[in-house]
Amino acid sequence: MMPEVLRRSRAIALLAAIGIASALTADTLAMGAKSMRVLAPVQHHLAGAEAAIVSVLKNIAGDRIASAQSELDRLLASNPNFRLAQLVKGDLLMARTRPLETMGNMPGAPEDRVRDLRDEARVRLLRLQTETPRDRLPRYLLKLAPEQKYAIVVDTARSSLYLFENHDGTPQYVADYYITIGKNGTGKAREGDKRTPLGVYRVTASLPSNKLGALYGSGAFPISYPNEWDQRNGREGHGIWLHGTPRDTYSRPPRASDGCVVLTNEDLDNIARTLQIGVTPVIISGGVDWVGAEDLSSLRAGLESSVERWRRDWESNSPDNYLSHYAASFSSDATGLAEWAAQKRSVALGKTWIKVKLDGVSMFLYPGKEPLAVVNFTQDYQSNNLSNVMRKRQYWIRDGERWKIAFEGSA
């Protein structure tokens, strides 16, 4: 039987090799694997193979090597293409004979492939160590419309996709999933830059696997990149999807796509049941900003008040009051503020009364430092000589102490 000290030292070496050491102090390492609190339980809704690999890593951290090996065998029996699990198993076997200097430390191993798997191990461990706040929400989800049953928030920095359910307009956490993003990170600006866009989007279609190549796994859900704000800022490209993983592997490294958000087929199938075409919002952020319920309510109330004042001033048929809600940088398609104002003043001359009702309102803050919000609603417009109902989208920016409209168009 292997001496206890030697077993522990090799377990610690393995932990260091698979990326845990970066999160530990030298003193913690010296105390032994059983003292490592970095893998203390946190609140994640994990299932399937992801739950299994997490359990394996926790067993390694607790120096339960035999349990880790048994779990790996079961995991690989059901998911033989889970390459990270294959590498961890190989390292466990090698650790019996010699300490490991790094993950995948074996002669002839392809360095690029092993480097990708090291990155995946590091990111999965980071996800495990980062608790999903139960008393806070992403600040972006100001208000969900009644028909929006779910919302998705992607944290590219944590390689995580969060799923929220709409409970009477308030989002409630359901689950989170490991994801892959673009090879060159985020900030998509042009076709072929292999970057993932940051912004507020929506699911626009469902593409079944039998209509796609093997790269996309069990299916794909295109999103609305480039949106109006992307186009206004000169961002180009197309074909940004949520999609699955090739059948010959369980998961992909954290940065491996051409700009899409990629999930395991198992996870894509799970969220596919919640996605509503043309309805489900997908917010992609470089790092989620979590806020308390009171802060979220305050942010929502401020924007709601601005939208309501705009609606009332439109009903008042006072062009000056109405136009005061539009930013100097406003545009609507190819129309700037001057043309917009002239057209609205001309229309107002023929009105004796106006009624405007807004239904199905949703509000989302844009990720990033720029104070920007997207507001969607169904607009029921009635007047003495015109009536129409249309779906509308507005982008509001902060202008001093006020929210003002920077873009307006049909949704």
What is the helix (H) or strand (E) element at residue 176, kind and residue range?
strand 170-178
Does residue 191 contact residue 198 with C-beta atoms inside 8 Å?
Answer: no
Does residue 161 contact residue 50 with C-beta atoms inside 8 Å?
Answer: no
Give strand ranges (E) for 312-386.
Answer: 326-332, 335-336, 354-365, 372-383
pLDDT at 35: 29
For the chain, give percent helix, strand, coil, nearest 5.
Answer: 35, 30, 35
Nearest to 262 by CA among 213, 220, 203, 225: 220
Tell me the two tokens of residue 239: 């074909």
Q: Interior CA angle at 312 toward 311 and 318, to 5°?
A: 105
pLDDT at 64: 82
What domains are defined for the chain?
Answer: 4-129 (no CATH), 136-288 (2.40.440.10), 292-410 (3.10.450.50)
Q: Interior CA angle at 333 toward 331 and 337, to 5°?
A: 25
Query: Which bin fits 203, alpha (ψ -120 to 50), beta or left (φ > 0)?
Result: beta
pLDDT (tens digit, 0 to 9) for every residue of the chain, 411 residues total? 444 444 445 554 555 555 444 433 333 333 333 323 333 334 556 667 888 887 887 777 777 888 888 999 999 999 999 988 988 888 887 777 766 666 666 666 666 778 888 888 888 877 877 777 778 999 999 999 999 999 999 999 999 999 999 998 889 999 999 999 999 999 999 999 999 999 999 999 999 999 999 999 999 999 999 999 999 999 999 999 999 999 899 999 999 999 999 999 999 999 999 999 999 999 999 999 999 999 999 999 999 999 999 999 999 999 999 999 999 999 997 789 999 999 999 999 999 999 999 999 999 999 988 899 999 999 999 999 999 999 999 999 999 889 999 999 999
